[in-house]
């Protein structure tokens, strides 16, 4: 007897368990079908994620060239992004295998003797992931991988300027045995995103992008679960104890590199640097020299450190902000002359606190340096911002590190390095204007799911 298919996402499908339908009158078998699986098993989700990780590694050079072509990112940073995406999917596969829930003893209270709770998590529903242009592969991966890991279907809307990496990822996902409808990649103009955001079939919205757009999304769908990874104005602090020649040279090179490594188009690119006043005069020349060493040019050249911004308009905006700061009294220590879509790595001093390059997110290769009287004044200056994503604190002292962690109003404090460090498995996100919720594989998996409790009664513990 032929098995009758059921339908998933408009396509016929078969499950594992068999169901035979019998005639009520005489009990004869009428037809046979299969039972839909309630949830894709963990091994199947993990296998698909492992496959994507492996295929990205195999096609790494091809994918890196694609990122450079659509984004303008220098080749070495494009390769680094592919490597991170490989790690992101690998971590997701591992988390899918151990996303098992939690046991809680309830007999801590006499009335609950013999009871134990199992807390598992179930997907809230299909996810809408809206990704930006600056990391066109790995920030898409941070939407897709945790959704697949928990068994939630996902629709990805890549940035209109950089859809190719997401489409290639869709091609690799299509090689897996994920069921029909588990993922979709939909290039759309930004003005049509509101249709997807408002769709009641998508109860979860995960957005990475600008603050005003994120705030508008949150206001428009208050009944939905919304995760927002928004802008930043990342600061680094050179503390009083970070005072040797070796210390200052190391910090100068790290800050120079990571204020410019994606042409400044990263939410955690260094934008502000606060230097203890007695170290300032020794640090600034080192920083300027380190910035001057950076090579700007064709992003396909393996020696290029800094490529163009995503468009001429983006570079013109950065140029206007720098010119505004200079007109208000700032000094250009290095850089400051635009050519087409390229804006050179630029260091500014003496910048007024209300200048856009100081107070807003530049999203370009511009760095502001300021003196502070002491470490506490630096921490207060970091907090004097509408944003709170990450901060870097250059110190050797554990007590200063903990003081910074207590004082700084940010989602992450990086001690001994720039704020631009991110491990893809760690919780990542900010406070204030930098968003709500956290990414990072386990954190996003929890964000996409709700706890579901089962209490067992009469259990001997």
Q: How high is the pLDDT of residue 10?
A: 42
Task: Please state the domain extents for the chain.
Answer: 3-35, 42-230, 235-424
* CATH of range 235-424; options 3.30.390.50, 3.40.50.11900, 3.30.70.1090, 3.40.309.10: 3.40.309.10
239 is annotated as an active-site residue = no
- Among candidate residues 229, 361, 439, 446, the one labeled active-site is 229
| Cα–Cα distance for residue pair 219/282, rounded to 1 Å | 48
Q: How high is the pLDDT of residue 25?
A: 63
Specify whether the CB–CB gap between 53 and 90 falls below 8 A: yes
Predicted TM-score of the model (pTM) = 0.90
Mean pLDDT in runs of 10 for the chain (461 residues)? 58 67 70 66 96 98 96 96 98 96 93 95 97 97 98 95 95 94 93 95 96 95 96 97 98 98 96 97 98 96 95 97 98 96 97 97 98 97 97 98 98 98 95 96 96 94 80
Q: How high is the pLDDT of residue 133?
A: 95
- Among candidate residues 70, 81, 95, 267, the one labeled active-site is 267
Domain 42-230: what homologous superfamily?
Aldehyde Dehydrogenase; Chain A, domain 1 (3.40.605.10)
Q: How high is the pLDDT of residue 389?
A: 97
């Amino acid at each position: 007897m032929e098995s009758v298919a059921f339908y998933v996402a408009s396509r016929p499908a078969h499950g594992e368990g068999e169901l035979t339908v019998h005639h009520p009158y005489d009990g004869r078998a009428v037809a046979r079908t299969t039972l839909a699986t309630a949830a894709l098993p963990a091994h199947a989700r993990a296998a698909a994620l492992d496959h994507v990780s492996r295929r990205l590694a195999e096609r790494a050079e091809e994918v890196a060239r694609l990122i450079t072509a659509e984004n303008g990112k220098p080749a070495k940073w494009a390769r680094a992004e592919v490597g991170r995406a490989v790690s992101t999917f690998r971590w997701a596969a591992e988390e899918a295998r151990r996303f098992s829930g939690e046991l809680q003893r309830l007999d801590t209270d006499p009335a609950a003797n013999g009871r134990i709770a199992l807390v598992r998590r179930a997907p809230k529903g299909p996810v809408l992931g809206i990704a930006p242009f600056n990391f066109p592969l790995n920030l898409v991966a941070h939407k897709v991988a945790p959704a697949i890991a928990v068994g939630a279907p996902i629709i990805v809307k890549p940035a209109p300027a950089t859809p190719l990496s997401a489409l290639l990822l869709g091609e690799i996902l299509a090689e897996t045995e994920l069921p029909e409808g588990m993922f979709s990649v939909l290039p759309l103009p930004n003005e049509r995103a509101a249709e997807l955001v408002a769709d009641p079939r998508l109860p979860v919205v995960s957005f990475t992008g600008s603050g005003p757009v994120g705030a508008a999304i949150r206001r428009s769908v208050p009944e939905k679960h919304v995760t927002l990874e928004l802008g930043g104005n990342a600061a680094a602090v050179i503390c009083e104890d970070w005072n040797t020649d070796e210390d200052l040279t190391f910090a100068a090179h790290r800050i120079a590199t990571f204020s410019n490594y994606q042409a400044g188009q990263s939410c955690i690119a260094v934008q502000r640097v606060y230097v203890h006043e007695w170290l300032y005069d020794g640090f600034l020349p080192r920083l300027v020299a380190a910035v001057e060493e950076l090579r700007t040019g064709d992003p396909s050249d393996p020696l290029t450190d800094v490529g163009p911004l995503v468009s001429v308009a983006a570079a013109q905006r950065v140029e206007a902000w720098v010119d505004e700061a200079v007109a208000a009294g700032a000094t250009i220590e290095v850089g400051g002359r635009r050519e087409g879509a390229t804006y050179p790595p630029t260091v500014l001093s003496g910048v007024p606190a209300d200048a856009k390059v100081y107070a807003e997110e530049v999203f370009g290769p511009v760095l502001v340096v300021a003196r502070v009287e002491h470490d506490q004044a630096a921490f207060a200056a970091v907090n004097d911002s509408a944003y709170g994503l990450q901060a870097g604190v250059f110190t050797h002292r554990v007590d200063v590190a903990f003081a910074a962690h207590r004082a700084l109003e940010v989602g992450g404090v990086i001690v001994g390095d720039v704020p631009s460090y991110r491990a893809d498995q760690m919780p990542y996100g900010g406070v204030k204007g930098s968003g709500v919720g956290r990414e990072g594989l386990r954190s996003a998996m929890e964000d996409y799911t709700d706890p579901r409790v089962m209490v067992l009664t009469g259990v001997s513990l």
